[in-house]
Structure 1
Amino acid sequence: MVAARNKNAESERLKEVMEVITRKLHEAVKEIEPTQQEWFEAIMFLTKIGHMCDDWRQEFILLSDVLGVSMLVDAVNSRRPSGASENTVLGPFHVGDAPEYAMGHNICLDQKGEDMVVRGRVTDVDGNALEGVKIDVWQANDEGFYDVQQKGIQPDFNLRGVFRTGPDGRYWFRAVRPKHYSIPDDGPVGDLLNRLGRHPFRPAHLHYIVSKDGYDVLTTHIFDPEDKYLHSDSVFGVKEGLIAEFNCIDDPASSEQVGFDGPYWDVEFDFVLAPKEV
């Protein structure tokens, strides 16, 4: 009946989408049989989520994340050939105008944390090195906060940077070992997680957007294999193929070669880009 009322929708796609959403919502109501009070509480929950949204915080995206919907949408839109690197969630803390650096630059601007070198190679699905690939990387600090969460505490653009691969497809930069952190849990989504008996933590990771003309844009993470939240990520973003190796290097000559004074973590991770479908 509701679907029939939408026959004059401005597009077939809108009509199709609303037909499916309406049908599934009605099915849920029939199965759950909510009381009037429960339905009102659901409406108030969504209202509170809307009130939490502003230019810096998107509580609806957070809800989508913790319900696993963000990862499902990503999976539907990121079907790639065998061997290509996998996508995962973008997250809310990407900044579009991060500075571009020469290869090897240290993106940690406040010298806090355990030193780390991240390196690897970018190729196509046939193993050919890709030159001029833009690698946009960002991460939380050793306390689990991004720079935009600590204005006036962390320097602007701390632990962010853009790099471009050379003819050999290789990249490397210096940073600090990231730490697990909590998603914002002071709002209705955090309250929901608490009531469900779930924690709000994400395992330690680095974010990447890897892009080159003619290839699918890769939005992904690499994860610390020793993190205690690796198998219970609150937003379901971990994939087996994105777990890296973090090796501790305690060799003065190696430290000197990469510009550190003491032991550091060495992380090597390669990316494979899929050709863009035309």
Structure 2
Amino acid sequence: MQASTAATAPHQKGTSPPPRCAQQRLAAVAVAASHYRPAHVHCLIDEPGYLRPITHLFRESSEYLDSAVVFGTKEALVVRFTERPAGRTPDGGSLARPYPHAQYDFVPQPCD
């Protein structure tokens, strides 16, 4: 299976809202976490007969990988994004501007 998504730019200081409540702010301070998130894309894998995981992939060079408010990131979900030139995309589409590209192999788990 192949999927395409739009990758956004990493959060810049001052552009991401701070934690919404006192408990979130205290939790971030207690573990020396930043309230900023590393650059990431969300993934939902939906295939009949298999578990339906929701996860995210983090951009390898992103700031905040080890201090995100979600208590860091899993090494296995940190991937390298490469810049691709404008033109044909891997899914057969086309983009008029350069774009980031990453590849990750999800292994679906059958439902019991």
TM-score above 0.5, yes or no: yes
**In the aligned structure 2, how far is the partner of 1:195 from the partner of 1:210?**
33
Where do 1:1-40 residues align within 5 Å? none
Compared CA separation, residues 229 and 274, structure 1 to 2 (3 A):
same
Partner of 1:180: 11
Contact 1:178/1:206 (<8 A) preserved: no
> Which residue identity does 2:53 align to in structure 1?
L
Partner of 1:228: 63
Partner of 2:105: 270
How many residues align? The count is: 104
**In the aligned structure 2, how far is the partner of 1:195 from the partner of 1:233?**
11
- Deviation at residue 237 of structure 1 after TM alignment: 5.5
Compared CA separation, residues 276 and 218, structure 1 to 2 (3 A):
same
**Structure-1-length-normalised TM-score:** 0.33
- Deviation at residue 213 of structure 1 after TM alignment: 2.5
**In the aligned structure 2, how far is the partner of 1:213 from the partner of 1:194?**
38
- Deviation at residue 199 of structure 1 after TM alignment: 2.2
**In the aligned structure 1, how far is the partner of 2:76 from the partner of 2:51?**
18
Please give the per-residue CA displacement for 1:103-141, whole angstroms capped at 9, x wherever unaligned: xxxxxxxxxxxxxxxxxxxxxxxxxxxxxxxxxxxxxxx
Question: Of residues 10, 32, 36 in structure 2, which corresponds to 1:201?
Answer: 36
Compared CA separation, residues 188 and 257, structure 1 to 2 (3 A):
same
SS of 2:100's equivalent?
Answer: strand
Structure 1: give runs of 5+ residues left out of the alignment: 1-169
**In the aligned structure 2, how far is the partner of 1:194 from the partner of 1:273?**
33
Contact 2:34/2:64 (<8 A) preserved: no
Q: Determine which structure has the larger helix proportion and give its number.
A: 1
> Which residue identity does 1:269 align to in structure 2?
Y
Structure of larger gyration radius: 1
Compared CA separation, residues 249 and 219, structure 1 to 2 (3 A):
same
Contact 1:223/1:243 (<8 A) preserved: yes
- Deviation at residue 201 of structure 1 after TM alignment: 1.8
Question: Of residues 76, 84, 87 in structure 2, which corresponds to 1:249?
Answer: 84
**Structure-2-length-normalised TM-score:** 0.73
Q: CA RMSD in A?
A: 2.5
